[in-house]
Chain A
């Protein structure tokens, strides 16, 4: 049947991954919408207003799912992980409360103003609302990532000997440690890869269909450029992040490499086959010295292996198994990198294909390949970010707070398997149904295309009408 612990872990994994399918799209697309509206504001060119409306609608369809799945996240810490909550609340609760006060209020209030305020707010003020919402989403990401970073590398705290609970003593350390900053930069660049690819792919799809080309060419270009710049950003931050992790969570990085024995001039494994239990592995393709270099910047450096780390942790923390499940850690790390780069490759292809006003049509093999790849390409960075979260969370096991609390000790003590089965099945089913509905709606509205006509100044128009004759410009 599975214990309440195992089921709770599955539930947390499923709900978090679902949440983080919608969130990267939100985090990036809101900036595209803000940019398109800003371009319209300053150039007056109608195509930008059309793009604002078009991508704004898609953004909102997706945002709703991000919000509702997010509520579950906040509640779940207390519901399934009450021992964790008791232990870390003094430290972890603070960034969560800040997220609500600074970020959630900002994004939700100003998004409401943006959706409904086209004819109620003067243009400049209305433009400001989408920027405020964008800032809100980014602040939200920062706070929750700082909280997660604390789980990976706890700082700014001490343990209260009387209660055994963690007690915060340095909020600056928690909010601004390098783990938090790097996690934020890496997550934001990854989100821009996801949304850049999404915007570019939608744009490119219209070009392949030769529809509304004047509107969607700029979108395709903007999305593709953002994807490429973000790809560079995600790689740089990923490299810096890995180096941080080698210092702070060497076992995670050793597992990511299936490196069982400490080595100087450690090789980078391109392919290693391990046994399913994760106790040993045989490298198949390796690049000598590269792991040492990637981990520390020095080809000759010593990289610690799983077996030595396990022995060291047993000496430090007592008997136990401190090794994460290596196959998942190894493969999720690689898939994150490999799959993610597919989007960058596609973006380069798109920019080359549509350079200088070209718009190749027809059924040749290249065109066919592009037409097939384009609608699917957003799945690549989305999968990559999922693998990234799987990697970082599974690689931290068996710890929920590295070095301080084991996941097995964090679950709510009196939770029954029945209760968790109910919620696990319930959330999974409801999320699955809603995800299908969301995707169907996104596809429907993509196919509909950008509005043919747009009202340039709804505020002015509304001001001219008498109250009794007024119609709302937009309504649910």
Chain B
């Protein structure tokens, strides 16, 4: 297998990792106003992802950085082309990140409510926009050489559309898919990590949103076959994803939380993988002319860089998976509303371990 193919697969792995992991963080954030009916319940929700959300978000930075290193032309054309959408995405991620840390820092309900809104917006917007962005990669967007140049040098290939071109039906549908899938995935995570009233509310949300997500996902993945390079592989993959999702929802019904989460994670894995499998050997499709596609060949770095980066990735990824996995083990206990200590900001200068009695 040649290096550019290996790196296409590695980029896919990084994005899959990001969506499986930060997917449920985003989902929990989206559910804040719905399951988090009072402050205590919202605190439970935030604390299920508290220890892990930052490490999960790093998968996005590594996916982006790896794309920059392995396929610089893909990184350049995509990030400059999707400029305003990425700007909005960044603002959302900024306010989400700060909100987790700052929400408990003042003893004021209004303060906490404002940050909880930030968590909601900072989760819903990325959950939607990642789908929209991928929709434009998979379904194509206006890419062409700069005026006066040709596609012979792929460095000339730029996004020649505008922000509204990104909001096309296919991309928007994929955005709905990611939004609803991540929300359900987040609800299932909450089921796994909580007890009592929060878990009950999460279960109900998982079923309701999960059904909507199923419809959105089926529609999106079917439509995706129109763009796929190999329908004979991606269509079965889409069907497998659908089956896994049904399985996840059935496990939710049966109260088998661990299975439900494994299956929702598996669905995301297979669905995102199918997108990449259908895309190869392209990395960005041009809706203007297939001669203007960015591919693993014309968008990539050279052999030396790819070789070095392969070593780094092959050594580091298992290590990272190991210690990130360990984190989930350390924080495996379920959380309930009775376990939440007084707000850190409650004006007391001590950090006594408070017994419930």
A residues in contact (CB < 8 Å) with B: 53, 60-61, 63-65, 67-69, 71-72, 74-75, 77-80, 82-83, 85-94, 96-102, 104-105, 108-113, 115-117, 119-121, 160, 163-165, 167-169, 171, 412-415, 419, 422-423, 426-427, 430, 434, 437, 441, 444-445, 448-455, 458, 461-462, 465, 467, 469-476
Contact = CB atoms under 8 A, between A and B. Distances in A.
Contact residues of B: prevailing secondary structure = helix
Nearest to B162: A416
A471 B327 contact: no
Contacts of B266: none
B309 A94 contact: yes
A88 B43 CA distance: 45
B80 A476 contact: no
B1 interface: no
B62 to A, nearest CB: 4
Contacts of A121: 330
B324 A82 contact: no
B91 A97 contact: no
A78 B46 contact: no
Interface string B107-123: 00000000000000000
Contact of A422 (B64, B73, B84): B84
B349 A82 contact: no
Contacts of A99: 65
Nearest to B69: A93
Nearest to A89: B72
Contacts of A74: 61, 64-65, 68
Contacts of B13: none
Nearest to B354: A471
B33 interface: no
Given A453-B350, A454-B351, A472-B335, A64 B101 contact: yes
B332 to A, nearest CB: 9
A467 B338 CA distance: 11
B153 interface: yes
12 contacts: A85-B68, A88-B72, A89-B73, A90-B69, A93-B65, A94-B69, A112-B51, A115-B50, A437-B102, A454-B351, A465-B355, A475-B341
Interface string B142-165: 000010000001110011100100
B61 A104 contact: yes
Most chain B Cβ neighbours within 10 Å, of A82, A413, A444, A450: A82
B105 A414 contact: no
Contacts of B331: 116-117, 120
Interface in B305-347: 305, 308-309, 312-313, 316-317, 320, 323-324, 327, 330-331, 333, 335, 338-341, 344, 347
A3 B76 CA distance: 20
Given A74-B61, A94-B308, A167-B302, A475 B330 contact: no
B78 interface: yes
B352 interface: yes
B103 interface: yes
Interface of B: 43, 46-47, 50-55, 57-58, 60-62, 64-66, 68-73, 75-80, 83-84, 86-87, 90-91, 93-95, 97-98, 100-106, 146, 153-155, 158-160, 163, 301-302, 304-305, 308-309, 312-313, 316-317, 320, 323-324, 327, 330-331, 333, 335, 338-341, 344, 347, 349-357
A86 B330 contact: no
Contacts of A91: 305
Contacts of A413: 146, 158
A273 to B, nearest CB: 41
A71 B94 contact: yes
Given A86-B73, A476-B50, A79 B86 contact: yes
Given A79-B86, A452-B349, 4 more contacts: A101-B317, A108-B57, A412-B158, A452-B350
B98 A434 contact: yes
A469 B55 contact: no
Contacts of B106: 441, 444
A100 B61 contact: yes
A434 B69 CA distance: 31
A111 B344 contact: no
Contact of A471 (B77, B90, B340): B340
A285 to B, nearest CB: 45
A475 B84 contact: no
Contacts of A461: 353
A123 to B, nearest CB: 14
